[in-house]
A and B are shown apart, each in its own frame.
Chain A
Amino acid sequence: MNNRPKVAFYWCASCGGCEEAVVDLAEKIIDVVSLVDIVFWPVAMDYKLSDVEALPDNSITVSFINGGIRLSEHEKVVRLLRQKSKLVVAYGACACWGGIPGLANQYSREEILERVYLTTPTTANPEKIMPPQDGYAKLGDVKIEVPTFLPELKPLDEVIDVDYYIPGCPPTPEVTWNAINVLLSGKLPDKGTVIGASNRSLCDECPLNKTKPENVLIKEFKRVVNYSPRADTCLLAQGLPCLGPVTRGGCGALCVKANMPCTGCFGPLENIHDYGGKALSFLASILDYENEEEIKREISKLPDVSGLIYKYTLPKSLLKNLLRSVRK
């Protein structure tokens, strides 16, 4: 072995997009690989968990972990990686705040399993086979250990101590590269910092910001399913609930450049206590009606308020502990 920094990648409850994002570094990944030793990366390399277990504590320089914690297996592996790593980085929206899978925290474990295994329109499961919840499954005569489905999805830092956060769904190659440079620079920022991205909201770097009128007031919340935005004007000013103003910048306004409003995957800025609460506040503020009935009428056209404002951050909401308990 040599003295190059050891790096681990791991995925929890995620779609695989974050893994793709690492590969999207393209030729730069060769630079990365030449600078580090990758000691664990289940999606790409054939190391076993036992290889990690065999490493001394704190021997991994940095572990990049993506996805939220939804299975007992996730908990087990990330605890192990924490033990073996000097630094742990929550990589991507799911690891940072729960991400899209975190929206399922509005439902109980039983509701989710029932929905997924029995009642979706595309499910054919006449024998009503459900995943075992005692941690074991039988394969013929063999009893094997299987992960259990946890009561809720947790962001990484609610299970282990996290040093840095890289936001995005997924983080863009630029953000990833910036973050890697920060980590390799030797001058580490304060613990808990979001690295690689901007410290201002997306509007700061959005090419359409200058087309926004001084008075941003809208008469309706439009939706991309039935409205084709003009490419030359701020999407929010056109009535699309673009979350750019409340979302950390750093992505280069990729969605907006593709004529899609920002949905908030870079999460909140550091002094925001609740991303959704703040998103709600600014969106409602600019709804240009003075009369309650008119306001209600426009709001009623929004199909899914929690999905809009907490698309990536529901498990970090201030209400996170109250979601299940009050749900019938």
Chain B
Amino acid sequence: MIQEPRVGVFICHCGHNIAAKVDVKQVADYAKTLPNVIVSHHYVFMCSTVGQELIREEIKKHNLNRVVVAACSPSMHEPTFRTAIESAGLNKYLLEMANIREHCSWAHSDKEAATEKAKDLVRMAVAKASLLEPLEEEEFPVSPTVLVLGGGVAGMRAAIDLAEWGFNVYLVEKNPTLGGRAALTGWLTNNRRGADVVNNLINKIVDNKNIHVFTNAELVEFSGFPGNFKAKIKVNPRFVNEKCILCGECEIECPIEVSNEYQYGLSRRKAIFFPFKAAYPPIYVIDQRVCIKCGECVKACQYGAINLAEQSLTLDLNVGAIVIATGYDPYHPPKGEYAYGLHNNIITLFQLERLLDEDGPTQGKLIIGGAVPKRIAFILCVGSRNTTPSSKNYCSRMCCTSTLINAIKIKEKYPDIDVYVLYQDINTYGNDETLYEQAGEKLVKFIKFEKPPTVDISPEGIVIDVYETTIQEEISIPVDALVLSVGMVPRRDQNELIATTRASCGEDGFIREVHLKLNPVEAPTHGIFLAGAVTGPKNIIESIRAGSAAASKVATLLSEGKVRTEPFTANVNEERCSGCRICVGLCPYKAISLREINDRMVAYVERALCMGCGTCSAACPSGAMQQYGFKDIQIMAQVVAATGGGIK
């Protein structure tokens, strides 16, 4: 299979960069003495046109089948020399570089010692080169279709960007409407509301024929590899079709009433309902979890829009990439944390946002427990920064800003209400820092704590006791209403998503990006991208940005029409493999599975998923799994050569 190695060694002076500290002629002469070396040359700049031509000529002249270039770091010119040997008819992976510049001439002062080291590095490279095999990159065509999971702001933004580039987008939302939590977010800065942002995005989606929206739908199966994933989508029945004109007659007749999650439980809704004013699609929906199928709504509907016999349907999609933008859950304080659940006037920030929103249950009036409070307090970092035993240790980023926006809103609407904000730190970063000043101007009272305050319920009402660290005094604040500024936590159903998509979560429990700085919005599995608060707390702007970022990453992957894999993948010798499964659980990319060959289960590497780390090869107890380009025998040969091969 492998030809008798005929190695050519080419040693670069790099001007004086190498030649000043390494006796290049001596190294070239030494190289000639090594096994399998046919020719050896040194030249002032190997990467120059002339240098590359020298390599090409020598390959042809001496019928070389392996090339060692001793020059700079492979990160510098490996691609250059690969191209050079390829143009001389060799497979470009029959090149091995010896790094005698960064690792040698630039790092050592003694010329004799540096020369000796350079010889060793060349010997190591020749040892490996003699065992190199031709490798092929594999190419796969890609499906120009993208699955976006989650119809919140991040998912919608990603879908719009991708559709505008011409990709076919399936936007799949678990709930009956697009919009996500941003639609319920109430006031943002600049007197805009979350619903306005959501409306704007929905309008763009409705107008775009490349986007196919599926609400009440979820991903149930996912397999394949980048460019060619197979996704099975289950679309749950809505029971109401496009004939619905939102007249609302059905809702009046419906006998079932439940807490309205679209108002965070501040109001009630029927089993047949319309989530909120800007909901899309603009059709009523029946909540099948609570509907008793009494048929009253069907009788009430004059348009024949309701069909209680509707069944779920499944869609099989072939998609090139997937964007996961499934968002977050608000932190839900356990009963008793800051007296939550013990008094009706203790609410969360998410509920307050609904109260102050003109589309909310009180049409924007701050009515808590039947009256407008005279004194209202916010406690920050609820559920965040280890303030209580059930808190997370991270900062949720948006709660400070959101608290101040709402505190200011209260002061604008009701200047006489006393507003207290109890905080550890105010993290209104960036432009939102002005909110802190505005709140001060509006006489919002800031109370700093280190030890979280205690909240007591007395017959007179709610009393907050706190040690104020600025004035260094224990103070007691009686209030009529208390808002807990809760943070963001991973979605409750996230584990199902992880199981289906092979995404993984980080220490904070959110879905993990490969690298925050080097590979943001990329999941460890190639072809899966992440947008919005699914990777951790984000505000609306940041989520939208992440949506755009994910879209551009998808476009980078799919725009060429094909994906090419690095050849340094793992490969199983199926004859040797005993199907012991050790490799399967170790693969960070779930690229390895078992498959049956001749009645035996053996490991199988999905090359398109394999990223080439080699951890399976290091563990394979049979030596059956080997990484191309980094096989055991190749590395062992380098080890032996590095130690002098016994000729110390």
Contacts from A to B (Cβ < 8 Å): 199-204, 209-210, 212-217, 244-246, 249, 269, 271-273, 278-279, 281-282, 285-286
Contacts and interface: CB of A to CB of B under 8 A. Distances in A.
A60 B577 CA distance: 38
Q: Point out which of B580, B581, B618 has the most chain A C-beta atoms below 10 A from its C-beta.
A: B580
A246 B619 CA distance: 10
B170 to A, nearest CB: 29
Contacts of A204: 578-580, 600
A245 B621 contact: yes
Contact of B580 (A215, A217, A245): A245
A217 B579 contact: no
A250 to B, nearest CB: 12
Interface in B575-618: 575-582, 584-586, 593-594, 600-601, 615, 618
30 contacts: A200-B576, A200-B578, A201-B580, A201-B621, A201-B622, A204-B578, A204-B579, A209-B579, A209-B601, A210-B601, A214-B581, A214-B584, A214-B585, A214-B593, A214-B594, A215-B581, A215-B585, A216-B581, A216-B584, A246-B622, A249-B578, A271-B576, A271-B622, A271-B623, A271-B632, A272-B622, A273-B632, A273-B636, A285-B619, A286-B582
Nearest to A204: B578
Contact of A203 (B580, B586, B593, B636): B580
B645 to A, nearest CB: 15
Among all A-B residue pairs, the 5 with the closest Cβ atoms: A215-B585, A246-B621, A204-B578, A203-B580, A245-B580
Nearest to A275: B621
A285 B593 contact: no
B580 A281 contact: no
A246 B621 CA distance: 4
B576 A269 contact: yes
Contacts of A246: 621-622
A98 B585 CA distance: 33
A69 B619 CA distance: 32
Contacts of A245: 578, 580, 582, 621-622
Interface residues of B, number: 24
Q: Point out which of B585, B622, B623 has the most chain A C-beta atoms below 10 A from its C-beta.
A: B622
A217 B622 contact: no
Nearest to B617: A281
A200 B621 CA distance: 10
A282 B621 CA distance: 6
A234 B619 CA distance: 18
Contacts of A244: 580
B220 interface: no
B367 interface: no
A173 B335 CA distance: 69
A274 B272 CA distance: 69
Contacts of B581: 203, 209, 212-216
B620 interface: yes
A217 B582 CA distance: 8
Contacts of A202: 578
A202 B579 CA distance: 10
Given A246-B621, A278-B623, A282-B619, A216 B585 contact: yes
Given A214-B584, A285-B582, A200 B636 contact: no
Contacts of A286: 582, 585-586, 619
Q: Point out which of A201, A217, A281 has the most chain B C-beta atoms below 10 A from its C-beta.
A: A201
B337 to A, nearest CB: 29
Interface string B91-122: 00000000000000000000000000000000
